[in-house]
């Protein structure tokens, strides 16, 4: 689903004038991928300041052989409040400058209405980080369903003989999922840390603890890197113990360790300890090539599910501690 519009401009509108206005509105021209009849330009708008953009705003310019210029815009159902406002602004300025009319899903010359108030920037930043993790974990699940391991030695379970199981392509393939999943996990917490640090009253404490090096300071000075991103690069976000300690620098009442230690599915081992063990397995596999031959399809899929549950608990903890309601719809 999406929110679309179609603007038909007066015949006096010139292509150069329309393109000039689109540029002034902050749209970026995209490379032409497909030969679409009468389309003379495809653009995208996004604004990363204060996490205003979720999916971007698309725009296409068309001109018929007779010279009639029209403009289409499209924002996906997952668009942000600010993307919808920019869509309305684009429609208004096109009509103000070039005349004509526009049609949206709401009707002729009717603007699209936001269905909620704009989120706080920190809430938007945490939501984007969670959404990206959701999308990233789709890939290994598809991979496991479609990898096509039909060799005789690709047994679904280990034999118990280490040297045989290490030659099992299915078990080796499952081990490859672990570093990817933990990289996605790490990236989620680093992005969330940046979002919380950006709007935290305790920023000075984190900046003092970071002790940035000369290269990072130069990158910040040259505007190649935000100061919050440079700080986040200093800290480790793999082990739950480290993650929990890092977020306490920003806000003392953020208790990620407590959230991950709560009982889960009646298991003896909590999510906190499970993920700590997974980090150990990952390090052994990546740095020494030691393979966990018990890492079956069931365990690999279960780990992806556990990882997402753990992230949701932490996302909920951010909301409770900072004061926002976590959004769980990912379009």
Give the per-residue pLDDT at 193: 96
Q: Compute, in degrees rounded to 10, the torsion defined by CA atoms 304, 305, 306, 310.
A: 100
Query: Residue 4 pairs with which residues in a beta bridge?
Result: 74
d(CA 128, CA 179): 22
> How many C-beta atoms lie closer than 10 Å to residue 272's C-beta?
23
* pTM of the predicted model as reported, rounded to 2 decimal places: 0.90
d(CA 209, CA 234): 9
Write the CB contacts of 324 (distance below 8 Å, at least 6 apart in sequence): 119, 120, 122, 123, 126, 318
Query: Residue 8 pairs with which residues in a beta bridge?
Result: 70, 101
Contact by Cβ (8 Å): 283, 213: no
d(CA 24, CA 144): 46
The DSSP result for 84-108, as a single string, is HHHHHHHHHHHHHHH--EEEETTEE
Nearest CA-CA partner of 303 in 188, 177, 139, 169: 177
Contact by Cβ (8 Å): 90, 78: no
Q: What is the pLDDT along the chain (331 residues), one digit of tens a residue?
A: 789 999 999 999 999 999 999 999 999 999 987 889 999 999 999 999 999 999 999 999 999 999 999 999 999 989 999 999 999 999 999 999 999 999 999 999 999 998 888 999 999 999 999 999 999 999 999 999 998 888 888 888 888 888 888 888 899 999 999 999 999 999 999 999 999 999 998 888 777 777 777 777 777 777 777 888 888 888 899 999 999 999 999 999 999 999 999 999 889 999 999 999 999 999 999 999 999 999 999 999 999 999 999 999 999 999 999 999 999 888 7
Taking only Cα atoms into account, the Rg of the chain, rounded to an integer number of angstroms, comes to: 25
**DSSP letter assigned to residue 160:** S
d(CA 112, CA 77): 12
Q: Torsion-angle region of residue 107: left (phi > 0), alpha (psi -120 to 50) or beta?
A: left
d(CA 98, CA 69): 10
Give the per-residue pLDDT at 109: 96
d(CA 271, CA 273): 6
Give the per-residue pLDDT at 32: 82
Give the per-residue pLDDT at 29: 96
Give the per-residue pLDDT at 87: 97
Query: Coil, strand or helix: which one is 278?
Result: helix
Domains parsed from the chain with CATH numbers: 2-108 (3.30.310), 121-322 (no CATH)
Give the per-residue pLDDT at 33: 76
> How many C-beta atoms lie closer than 10 Å to residue 211's C-beta?
9
With vertex at residue 255, the alpha carbon angle to CA 249 and CA 258, rounded to the nearest 5 degrees, is 145
Surface-to-core class of residue 121, CB atoms within 10 Å of its CB (0-12 exposed, 13-18 middle, 19+ buried) = middle
The order of strands in the sheet holding 39-45 is 28-29, 39-45, 57-63, 69-76, 2-8, 101-104, 107-108
Alpha helices in 25-113 (DSSP H): 81-98
């Amino acid at each position: 689903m999406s929110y679309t519009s179609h603007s038909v401009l007066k015949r006096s509108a010139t292509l150069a004038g329309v393109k000039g206005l689109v540029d002034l509105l902050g749209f970026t021209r995209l490379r032409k991928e497909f030969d679409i009849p009468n389309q003379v330009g495809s653009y995208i708008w996004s604004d990363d300041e204060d996490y205003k953009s979720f999916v971007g705003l698309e725009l296409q310019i068309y001109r018929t052989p007779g010279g009639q210029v029209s403009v289409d815009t499209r924002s996906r159902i997952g668009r942000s409040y600010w993307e919808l406002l920019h869509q309305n602004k684009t429609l208004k300025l096109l009509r103000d400058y070039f005349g004509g009319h526009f049609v949206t899903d709401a009707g002729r010359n009717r603007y699209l209405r936001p269905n909620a108030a704009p989120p706080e920037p920190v809430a938007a930043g945490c939501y984007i980080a969670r959404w990206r993790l959701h999308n990233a974990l789709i890939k290994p699940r598809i991979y496991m369903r479609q990898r096509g391991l039909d060799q005789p030695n690709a047994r679904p379970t280990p034999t118990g003989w280490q040297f045989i199981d290490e030659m099992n392509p299915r078990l080796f393939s499952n081990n490859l999922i672990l570093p990817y999943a933990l990289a996605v996990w790490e990236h989620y917490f680093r992005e969330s840390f940046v979002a919380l640090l950006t709007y935290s009253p305790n920023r000075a404490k984190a900046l003092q603890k970071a002790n940035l090096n000369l290269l990072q300071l130069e990158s910040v000075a040259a505007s190649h890197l935000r100061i919050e991103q440079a700080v986040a690069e200093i800290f480790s976000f793999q082990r739950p113990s480290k993650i929990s300690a890092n977020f306490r620098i920003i806000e003392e009442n953020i208790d990620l360790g407590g959230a991950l230690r709560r009982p889960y599915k009646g298991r003896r081992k909590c999510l906190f300890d499970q993920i700590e063990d997974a980090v150990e397995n990952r390090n052994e596999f990546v740095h020494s090539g030691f393979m966990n031959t018990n890492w079956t399809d069931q365990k690999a899929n279960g780990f992806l599910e556990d990882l997402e549950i753990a992230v949701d608990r932490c996302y909920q903890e951010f909301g409770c501690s900072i004061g926002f309601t976590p959004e769980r719809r990912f379009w």
